[in-house]
Amino acid sequence: MAKQTKAALGKGLGALITMDDLNTGGSSSINEIEIAKITPNPNQPRRVFDEEALDELSASIKALGLVQPITLRETSDGKYQIISGERRYRASLKANLETIPAYVRKASDENVMEMALIENIQREDLNAIEIALAYQTLIESYHLTQEKLSERIGKKRATIANFLRLLKLPAEIQMGLKDKKVDMGHAKLLLSLEDPSTQLMVYEQVVKHHFSVRKTEEIIQALNEENPPKTTDRKRSKTPDEYAMLKNHLSDFFNSKVAFQINDRGAGKITIPFTSQEDLERIVQRFDSIK
């Protein structure tokens, strides 16, 4: 049975997020839980634990005790599953503790995954691939859109999308991200290359020569200029005749000679000229009428 103790709230999950926002319940008091009754969470987003860092933490726990409680939920068999704090749990095992201070909360499987993910991200404990896999698991397991996941965990949808795109990289590059041979900046640039073999070739050079993100960007830019992506008929959204019709339509709408500049990739710009301040105000009013 859990034994009540008095202690101050540490700088863990309780200090980082509001539990009510995650639909959890239960007492917020700290309990001393038998460590033999605790099991790790199989859906823990963090996969890599540095053994040397664990040994250092274990030595600290032996000398000072576990200052910061972990967070658990009680399971149906009377045992406890870790929501957050698996690193502290592992270090406590190494320190041969019999009990460990913990917050015991009620939480669904979905909430456990969210809470573990949020704490690890807030602490910057996860590598980029672990974060991406955790996002993917939440989306697939609980049928969430990126937008819904964004609302649940307080991250921008674009941030979530950028992490998920990392899972499209070749496995060797994903492993390099996990092992911190390259960082997120390198990975984003590699994603701009369409061919996986080219991605791998550039990645190997980056690792071999310790290229900075800026240097990597220069290499990829040079490659793209040498071999511009092929524009397929499916990707080309409009024909030249359709662009001409659109240009004439906009010229009529703004009563100004609208200019188009379009490259082979379909990118470009639209220019709306004006002859005076009054003419500019007239064009702005046309924009306002669209709203």
In the chain, alpha helices (H): 13-16, 51-64, 86-94, 109-122, 128-141, 146-153, 157-165, 171-178, 184-191, 196-209, 213-226, 240-254, 277-290
Please report the sign of the dihedral spanned by the C-alpha atoms of residue 86, residue 130, residue 51, residue 8: negative
Strands 268-271 and 30-34, by their bridges, are unpaired
Active-site residue identified among 32, 51, 86, 281: 86
How is residue 87 written in tokens?
């690193």
Cα gap 39→55, rounded to integer Å: 20
Cα gap 158→163, rounded to integer Å: 9
Backbone φ and ψ for 179, nearest 5 degrees, come out as -90, 5
Who contacts 153 (Cβ-Cβ below 8 Å, separation ≥6)?
A: 114, 117, 118, 121, 138
Who contacts 76 (Cβ-Cβ below 8 Å, separation ≥6)?
A: none
Cα gap 108→111, rounded to integer Å: 5
Q: What is the dihedral of CA 87, 90, 92, 95, to 10 degrees?
A: -130
The total of other beta-carbon atoms located within 10 Å of residue 172's CB is 14
Q: How far is CA 278 from CA 67, 282, 283, in A?
A: 69, 6, 9
Nearest to 120 by CA among 165, 75, 83, 175: 83
- The verdict on whether 86 is a catalytic residue reads yes
Cα gap 34→97, rounded to integer Å: 9
Residues with catalytic roles: 86
